[in-house]
Amino acid sequence: MAEPTAAPPDKAFPVSWDQFHRDARALAWRLAGQGDFKGIACITRGGLVPAAIVARELGIRLIDTFCVASYHEYKTQGNLTVLKGVSQALTEVGGEDGEHVLIIDDLVDTGATAKVVRSFLPKAHFATVYAKPQGRPLVDTFITEVSQDTWIYFPWDLGLSFQAPISGHKA
């Protein structure tokens, strides 16, 4: 992976695989009984892992992808591009407006992606593992809120390396 081109944010929130799995299962617990979900539309790429966990926990077999590109060089959110919408199979069981569809993503940040996905599936239940204040009103269910100026480092983006102390002093 290439080094990010933008300066890292002041607040970093690294998430381990164990923590992410616990948070995604907590999302499934929170979603259990909230709707008659017939299928999942996961937003790629970040929504793939939590969608798999939620689908397992809720017994949902129909999982589709809504492919959106918005982050570039891992650091900056740029122009939003819809690469692929949901399939006919999902709209057949979930309804044209998504009434029985569960949308899953790892994070809602500014809400730009959520707005686009909601325009395709306006009645779907939108759930994310993490939420930032700007995007939070666009999701129905989330687990953890972080400040807008926090960058979440997901486990699939990390390798093992030294982390500088928060206070800035050298170890």
Task: Answer yes or no: are the C-beta atoms of 73 and 5 closer than 8 Å.
Answer: yes
- Using CA atoms, how far apart are residues 91 and 17, in angstroms rounded to an integer? 32
| pLDDT for residue 169 | 59
- Using CA atoms, how far apart are residues 74 and 99, in angstroms rounded to an integer? 32
Q: 0.75 exceeded by the pTM?
A: yes
Q: Is the N-terminal amide bond of 56 cis, ω within 30° of 0? A: no
Model confidence over 23-32: pLDDT tens digits? 999 999 999 9
Domains of the chain listed by start with CATH number: 35-155 (3.40.50.2020)
Model confidence over 42-65: pLDDT tens digits? 999 999 999 999 999 999 999 999
Q: Which residues are catalytic?
A: 105-106, 109
Per-residue pLDDT of the chain (171 residues; tens, 9 = 90+): 344 445 455 789 999 999 999 999 999 999 998 989 999 999 999 999 999 999 999 999 999 999 988 765 555 556 788 899 888 899 899 888 999 999 999 999 999 999 999 999 999 999 999 999 999 999 999 999 999 999 999 998 887 776 677 776 555
Q: Give the DSSP letter string of 49-113.
A: HHHHHHHHHHT---EEEEEEEEEETTTEEEEEEEEE---HHHHHHH-TT-TTEEEEEEEESSSHH
155 to each of 18, 63, 113, how far by Cα in Å? 9, 22, 21
Question: Judging by DSSP bridges, how do beta strands 141-145 and 150-153 pair with one another?
Answer: unpaired
